[in-house]
Structure 1
Amino acid sequence: MNSIAVIFAGGSGKRMNTKAKPKQFLELHGKPIIIYTLELFDQHPMINHIVVACIESWIPYLKELLRRFEIKKVVEIVPGGETGQDSIYNGLEAAERHGPKDSIVLIHDGVRPLIEEKTITDNIEEVKKSGSCITCVPATETLVVKQENNTLHIPERSNSLIARAPQSFILADILDAHRKARKENRHDFIDSCTLMSHYGHKLSTIIGPVENIKITTPTDFFMFRAIIDVKENSQIFGF
């Protein structure tokens, strides 16, 4: 079964307070965050193709990075959209040009470089079984859900999960949901699982690594650096 990673890297990094580069191009040990992310999918044996949605003016720079770091599976880079939802749709349209409608698509943030090979494998296998897969981590603090009538609902922590990425689906299903949203002029869905749930799709989950953070603030970047340094030291010194 064909598997395509759709990586969206269209953010400008306003919360990171970066002026020279968008957050996905910030470097750690000489390697941009987006390359850390792309390497995970490029090296995975079950991923056939990668599509990237990128800030349009930064596409030439990304192409140069792909050559420099020998990323081989990227088949198309498309401009990002006005919203994250629009960027993902542009990437999904590109995926449609490179794989059959029954392909598995793994939708992932370009600034989530700390997933593992097993996370990708688990996503693909779960979509094969149930048609969808949302990578989650257990909630470690109490969630408070504000209701429309201004009351609060406190779900049981043991039943609460936090959605992260990848979020994976059959290509035809996720494209159909996006096209319904566009017909209704809806561009405000926060992520793919929210959109798919809204249009009636049953969602399945897997538990991914806790360190699978999204790097959007300076604090996130410092955490990323610490985790990478620990992993590199463990390889060198056998910790």
Structure 2
Amino acid sequence: MVSVIIPAAGQGRRMQAHHNKVFLMLAKEPILVHTLRQFAEVEDVGECIVVVGKGEEKETFELLKSASSVHSLPDCRIVTGGEERQDSVWNGLQVVSPDADIVLVHDAARPLVTPAIIGRVIRAARRTGGAVAAVPVKDTIKVAGDDGNVASTPDRSTLWAVQTPQGFQKDLLVRANEQAIADGFRGTDDASLVERLGMPVELSLGSYENIKITTPGDLIIAESFWKARQEADDIRVPEGRGLRA
């Protein structure tokens, strides 16, 4: 069984909102509901743990109760988040079902994920122990020196923009978090914790549409993608870059 942890405790400062951004509306429904609906379509997903900010538990419960009367949503448990995202994921891990063999972590603010992306990450995590959704970068990247000048230009063919979901064998993710806590390490994503253990993390094909809604402009882009989905498939990325289905 697959358990999904949805960190949803962000304050939405860059959204210029006075409310948690996952409650904002996208195509007439809250962002969080859009996200959960995608996981409801994946057969392997058996539970979902939504980690929210302190004081948002009741509002989230009422939101999901109302949405479940209209849409098919995964079985959800609501957990209070921590000071930072890593703390919130750890709180979610504490209540993961003992029957789960794979744990996915997915940003609540990525509502344009698809069941196909989720399925690929699950299969890759079962195959190698850890996997992340990702796409090749399209821009040239520069490494800056301390003086503000360009220090180097890495080969773009080796660079990938990492997204979520990120999936791991449950015991591995727990061990990676325990080690990070012991070392006082703060990672920028869940995969970085696993990488510190010397374990492989496979790149799994994501989508350029699978954006994280962080700013007001992102919400406009997401609205456009969402409307276009009725007539077009996900934007394709170049094949032959070493990824497997």
- Do both proteins adopt the same fold according to a TM-score greater than 0.5, normalized to the shorter chain? yes
Partner residue in 1 for 2:236: none
For the 8 Å contact 2:50–2:79, the answer to whether it is kept is: yes
What amino acid sits opposite 1:47 in the alignment? Answer: V
How far apart, CA to CA, are the structure 2 residues paired with 1:149 and 1:15? Answer: 28
- Partner of residue 118, structure 1: 116
Per the normalisation by structure 2, the TM-score is 0.87
1:85 partner amino acid: Q
Q: How does 1:98-117 map to 2 (within 5 A)?
A: 98-100=97-99, 103-117=101-115
**2:2, 2:145 → 1: CA distance?**
39
Show structure 2 runs of 5+ residues with no match: 233-245
User: Once the 2 structures are TM-superposed, how far is the Cα of residue 147 of structure 1 from its aligned partner?
Assistant: 6.6
Name the SS of the counterpart of 1:142 in structure 2: coil
For the residues of structure 2 that align with 1:139 and 1:28, how far apart are their CA atoms?
26
Q: Which residue of 1 aligns with 2:33?
A: 35
Q: d(CA) in 1 for partners of 2:4 and 2:76?
A: 10
SS in 2 for 1:14: coil
Aligned to 1:205: 203
Secondary structure of the 1:176 match is helix
Superposition TM-score, scaled by structure 1 size: 0.89
Larger proportion of helix = 1
Cα deviation, residue 107, structure 1: 0.6
Equivalent-residue separation in structure 2 for 1:81 and 1:195 (angstroms): 17
- Taking the aligned partners of 1:72 and 1:227, their CA distance within structure 2 comes to 22
2:160 is equivalent to residue 161 of structure 1? yes
Is 1:194 aligned to 2:192, yes or no? yes
Length, aligned pairs only: 228
The equivalent residue for 2:217 is: 219
Residue 10 in structure 1 maps to residue 17 in structure 2 = no
Moved more, 66-75 or 4-13: 66-75
Contact 1:42 1:50 in 2 (8 A): no
Instruction: Say if 2:36 and 2:74, in contact at 8 Å, map to a contact too.
Output: no
**Given that residues 37 and 74 in structure 2 are in contact (C-alpha distance below 8 angstroms), is that contact kept between their aligned partners in structure 1?**
no
Query: In terms of mean alpha carbon deviation, does 208-217 or 69-78 score higher?
Result: 69-78
* RMSD value, Cα: 1.9
- The one-letter amino acid of 1:6's match is I
Counterpart Cα distance in 1 of 2:187 and 2:132: 15
How many percent of aligned residue pairs carry the same amino acid? 29
Q: Which amino acid in the other structure matches residue 89 of structure 1?
A: W
Deviation (angstroms), 1:72: 4.4
Q: Deviations over 1:71-107 (max 9, x none)?
A: 5433421111111111111111121xx133x611111
Q: Is the deviation greater in 128-137 or in 144-153?
A: 144-153
Q: Show CA shifts across 1:159-201 (max 9, x none).
A: 2111111111011101111111112233x21111112112322
Post-superposition offset of 1:228: 1.2
The structural deviation recorded for 1:229 is: 1.8
**Counterpart residue number, 1:178:** 177
Greater displacement, 123-132 / 69-78: 69-78
